[in-house]
């Protein structure tokens, strides 16, 4: 927020709320559909298009990261300025509709709908900084918005070029475009002809409470994907022995994810109530990217086991079932900010190592046993994590970023 005297009250002078608004919750509804589409792509990568698994998986990762960029930047926007303002609500609603279009075109984005996907994505990512450039005129944040606009315009050229070219060129152009956006976000979108000052140096404050609540809500939406995938798979043909065991394993996994995410305690550093600038958003965003990606992989893995519980199990399915929790644990661990006085807790890294070591022998056991073993290991990690912090400050009920 910009609070310097002499500025007319506008977007830059507004303050974000400490809690998420109803409109932001409405915005997340679109991502329920988008995550389901992404889970469907992962399932297809494992079954229909296994002859091109690596390239198809790469496309899925690209789409997931692009959709996550949209969500995380909007969360940062509403955590910096007042999301109750009509102009900001209009931006959120427009982004919500654009995200819906992206989710609809997702299955054929590398096919006939590539141009639609690329143009919609560019409109969203370029439209947001254009709004900020005009809304922040006369404020120090104007130069920062201009830098963001320049970077997204450069990546937008590659997005549209990829949509037009198709084939291998589409993958190359889109990968370069997304790389530009990731590098820009990681470096505060510097420009050689403008002073590269971060938001924290121009008096802009990000509400840590608001941003943490937004991430917590999105985590719960992603967690529901495990329930949806497993429940839908069990619904037809109904309860079987293997399906029931896998459903129980999925439920145990959901509880373990929830418990680790919300009750994992940092190693002695007292949390702060607010944060300055976008630095906290940057590392928190990358952490949540791993967390949500791991949850989606886990959801697809359990769903595939329920649909086809007969041995032998495919190595790629083992990698999904065990790799998903590994991504989750690594992401949750990096959600803590490390300091010299309070090094990052190693309990979750230890759990990830156990999962990696246990995964290779799983290709020799039935698929249902794979799901059960993964759930048991996660439950053990949860217990170990809680005991490792029994002498700490007590349980966290909301990660404070």
What is the tens place of the pLDDT at every residue in 146-189?
Answer: 999 999 999 999 999 999 987 888 989 999 999 999 999 888 88
150/190 Cα distance (integer angstroms): 10
Burial code of 366-400, b = ≥16 C-beta within 10 A, e = fewer? Answer: bbbbbbbbbbebbbebbeebbebbeeeeeebeebb
pLDDT of residue 139: 78
Cβ-count burial of 132 within 10 angstroms (0-12 exposed, 13-18 middle, 19+ buried)?
Answer: buried
pLDDT for residue 315: 87
Alpha-carbon span 157 to 163, nearest angstrom? 10
Distance CA 129, CA 152 (A): 8
353 within 8 A of 346, measured Cβ to Cβ: no
**Rounded-to-10 torsion of CA 364, 367, 369, 374:** 100
Q: How far apart are CA 352 and CA 3, in angstroms?
A: 45
pTM for this model (two decimals): 0.87
Q: What pLDDT does residue 175 have? A: 93
- Residue 273's pLDDT is 37
Beta bridge partners of 276: 205
> What letter does residue 346 receive in the DSSP assignment?
-
Q: Which residues in 70-186 belong to E strands, given as ranges?
A: none
- pLDDT value at position 379? 95
- Could you tell me the two tokens for 346? 């190693």
List the structure tokens of 358. Answer: 């246990």
pLDDT for residue 285: 83
Q: What pLDDT score does 11 carry? A: 82
Per-residue pLDDT, 198: 54
| DSSP conformational letter for 313 | P
The parts of the chain modelled with pLDDT lower than 50 are 1-8, 53, 267-277, 339-342, 393
Q: Which residues of 38-51 are buried (b: 16+ CB within 10 A; e: fewer)?
A: bbebbbebbeeeee
Q: How far is CA 187 from CA 18, 110, 191, 253, in A?
A: 27, 29, 10, 36
- Return the pLDDT at 308: 85
Please give the DSSP secondary-structure letter assigned to residue 139.
S
């Amino acid at each position: 927020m910009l609070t310097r005297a002499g500025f007319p009250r506008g977007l830059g002078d507004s303050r974000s709320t400490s809690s998420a608004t109803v409109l932001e919750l409405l915005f997340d509804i679109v991502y329920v559909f988008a995550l389901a589409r992404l889970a469907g792509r992962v399932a297809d990568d494992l079954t229909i298009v296994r002859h091109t698994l690596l390239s198809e998986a790469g496309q899925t990762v690209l789409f997931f990261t692009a959709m996550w960029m949209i969500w995380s930047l909007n969360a940062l926007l509403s955590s910096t300025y007042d999301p109750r303002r009509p102009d900001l609500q209009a931006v959120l609603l427009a982004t919500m509709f654009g995200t819906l279009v992206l989710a609809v075109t997702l299955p054929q984005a590398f096919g006939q709908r590539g141009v639609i996907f690329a143009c919609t994505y560019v409109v969203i990512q370029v439209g947001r900084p254009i709004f900020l450039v005009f809304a922040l005129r006369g404020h120090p944040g104007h130069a920062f918005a201009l830098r963001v606009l320049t970077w997204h315009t450069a990546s937008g050229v590659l997005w549209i070029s990829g949509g037009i070219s198709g084939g291998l060129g589409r993958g190359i152009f889109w990968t370069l475009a997304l790389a530009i956006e990731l590098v820009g976000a990681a470096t505060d979108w510097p420009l050689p002809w403008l002073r590269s000052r971060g938001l924290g140096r121009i008096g802009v404050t990000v509400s840590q409470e608001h941003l943490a609540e937004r991430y917590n809500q999105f985590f719960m939406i992603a967690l529901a994907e495990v329930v949806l995938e497993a429940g839908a798979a069990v619904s037809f043909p109904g309860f079987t022995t293997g399906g029931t065991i896998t459903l129980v394993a999925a439920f145990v996994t959901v509880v373990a994810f929830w418990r680790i995410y919300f009750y994992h305690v940092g190693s002695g550093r007292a949390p702060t109530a607010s944060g300055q600038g976008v630095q906290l958003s940057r590392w928190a965003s990358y952490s949540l990217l791993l967390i949500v990606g791991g949850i989606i992989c886990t959801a697809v893995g359990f769903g595939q086991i329920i649909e086809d519980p007969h041995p032998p199990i495919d190595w790629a399915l083992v990698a999904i079932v065990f790799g998903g929790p590994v991504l989750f644990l690594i992401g949750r661990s990096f959600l803590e900010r490390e300091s010299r006085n309070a090094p990052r807790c190693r309990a979750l890294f230890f759990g990830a190592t156990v999962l990696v070591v246990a995964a290779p022998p799983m290709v020799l056991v039935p698929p249902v046993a794979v799901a059960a073993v993964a759930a048991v290991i996660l439950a053990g990690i949860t217990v170990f994590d809680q005991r490792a912090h029994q002498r700490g400050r007590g349980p966290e009920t909301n990660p404070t970023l």
